[in-house]
């Protein structure tokens, strides 16, 4: 059971993103085909738009987990190992502050949307569920940043013990 939970956690974003992307692709294909025959599915564009928003915010967490955010490593690569670790700590703190700020703003947006009871035009789904992608993605990003930092710190500590 523990191994299954670890597997799910290690692949959480992929478990959500792959089916969402596949479904979005199929839905867009069906929409294009129905338009070719003179009709369309009114709600499909809206659903794909909201799925894309969720995919984007979950993708932020996935990129963090993989360490594939856009980075300029020229300065870091010229530093000694201890300097690299210090820079990594600083960069992680900046990312955590950014994620916390975006999380907070996402929660504020959800609060405002909930207060006014906004719903989507075609699906009539409360828009708070669409905006929930922002704090969800940022919360996952924070967790992934902390995980990556702990792994990096442990490897630096183990590497430093060998010298």
The structure's pTM equals 0.86
Residue 77 pLDDT more than 90? no
Confidence of residue 163 (pLDDT cuts 50, 70, 90): very low
Helix (H) and strand (E) counts in the chain: 7, 0
Give me Rg for the CA atoms of the chain: 20
Evaluate whether 132 touches 110 at the Cβ level (below 8 Å).
Answer: yes
* Angle formed at CA 47 by CA 44 and CA 52, multiple of 5 degrees: 125
Residue 161 pLDDT more than 60? no
The confidence score (pLDDT) of residue 76 equals 85
Which whole number is the average pLDDT over 102-119?
96
Question: How far separated are the first and last CA of the chain, in Å rounded?
Answer: 39
Domain spans in the chain, listed from the N-terminal domain onward: 2-161
Reduced to 3 states, what is the DSSP secondary structure of residue 142? Answer: helix
The confidence score (pLDDT) of residue 84 equals 87
Residue corresponding to tokens 């405002």 = 112
- For 112-126, how does the pLDDT look when each residue is reduced to its tens digit (9 = 90+)? 999 999 999 999 999
- Paired residues of 119 in beta bridges: 126
Backbone angles phi, psi at 119, to 5 degrees: -125, 160
Confidence of residue 162 (pLDDT cuts 50, 70, 90): very low
- For 24-75, how does the pLDDT look when each residue is reduced to its tens digit (9 = 90+)? 999 999 999 999 988 888 899 999 999 999 999 999 999 999 988 777 778 8
Q: What string of H, E and C letters represents the secondary structure of 52-89?
A: HHHHHHHHHHHHHHHCCCCCCCHHHHHCCHHHHHHHHH
Question: How much is the mean pLDDT over the chain?
Answer: 91
The confidence score (pLDDT) of residue 43 equals 92
């Amino acid at each position: 059971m523990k191994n299954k939970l670890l597997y799910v956690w290690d692949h959480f974003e992929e478990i959500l993103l792959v089916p969402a992307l596949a479904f979005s692709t199929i839905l867009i294909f069906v929409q294009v085909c129905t338009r070719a025959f003179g009709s369309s599915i009114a709600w499909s564009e809206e659903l794909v738009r909201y799925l894309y928003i969720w995919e984007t915010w979950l993708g932020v967490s996935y990129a963090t987990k993989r360490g594939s955010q856009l980075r300029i490593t020229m300065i870091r690569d010229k530093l000694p190992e201890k300097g690299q670790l210090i820079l990594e700590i600083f960069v992680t703190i900046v990312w955590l502050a950014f994620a916390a700020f975006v999380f907070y703003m996402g929660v504020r947006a959800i609060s405002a949307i909930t207060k006014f009871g906004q719903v989507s035009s075609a699906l009539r789904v409360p828009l708070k569920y669409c905006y929930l992608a922002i704090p969800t993605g940022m919360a996952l990003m924070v967790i992934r940043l902390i995980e990556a930092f702990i792994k990096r710190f442990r490897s630096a500590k183990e590497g430093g013990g060998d010298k």
